[in-house]
Structure 1
Amino acid sequence: MTTEDPTGAPSPAALTLTTGEKDKALDKQLEAALEAFNAAATGTPDEDKHLTVRLTDASGELAGGLSAWIWGGLCGIELLWVREDLRSGGWGGKLLRTAEQEARDRGCDRVLVSSFTFQAPGFYQRHGYVETGRSLGIPGGHADVHLFKSLEWEAPAPG
């Protein structure tokens, strides 16, 4: 006989915890459950919108890129990378500005990103992002820096 608590939840004896490696099916179920919860809490459904900017060289090889998600007027940068031989040529800024304009065009008015201290928080700050917090405990004594920027209209950068 299983007993339930007053909320209707099963007893702890009826539940099982397991651990494992990457589980795509579990990830998909968790995403669906969290998206439903987030939509109920915010009134903004997840529309599964993404934004990418790709930089390729003359031979068609990937030279850099940016990947982001969009939800409820917010753009969240997940990945930004520029090939090492192009890092001093301003390509990171070009990728970022292109993504910000595309986000504006898609109705976003703000953007967020996080960057480890050994990566590029200074790069984002030079582009108008403001640090909103840090998560400590990254290997090597580093931190994860959380940054935010309002996407109010900006005059295009020269060149």
Structure 2
Amino acid sequence: MYLDVLWIADEYRHKGCGKAMLHEAERLGKELGCTFTHTCTFTYQSPNFYKNMGYEVLGVNDEYPD
């Protein structure tokens, strides 16, 4: 499963909403037969969120334009 967009409004951040939404997306993916999930994020977004959720970094593009 490719997770394209997971966005949480500021007033709901740090309240477990992102974690709950990610778990639900993964549950639905499994229900549909997906065996793994991957996504893409930027350093100003939430790479630590995904790491804390058990995701691993597969690649880094240090040459992405500002």
Which bin holds the TM-score, normalised by the shorter protein?
A: over 0.9
Q: What is the Cα-based RMSD across aligned positions, in Å?
A: 0.8
From 39, 48, 57, give the equivalent of 1:122.
Answer: 48
* 1-structure distance, mates of 2:43, 2:58: 14
Task: Indicate the structure (1 or 2) with the bigger Cα radius of gyration.
Answer: 1
TM-score of the superposed pair, with normalisation by structure 1: 0.40
- Structure 1 gaps of 5+ residues are 1-74, 140-159
TM-score of the superposed pair, with normalisation by structure 2: 0.93
Q: Aligned residues: percent identity?
A: 29
- Structure 2 gaps of 5+ residues are none
- Structure with the larger RCO, 1 or 2 (CA within 8 Å, 6+ apart): 2
- The answer to whether 1:112 aligns with 2:3 is no
Superposed displacement of residue 136, structure 1: 1.7
- Give, as a single letter, the amino acid of the residue that structure 1 aligns with 2:31: D
Q: Which runs of 4+ in 1 moved over 6 A?
A: none
Q: How does 1:4-153 map to 2 (within 5 A)?
A: 75-138=1-64, 139=66
* 2-structure distance, mates of 1:137, 1:85: 33
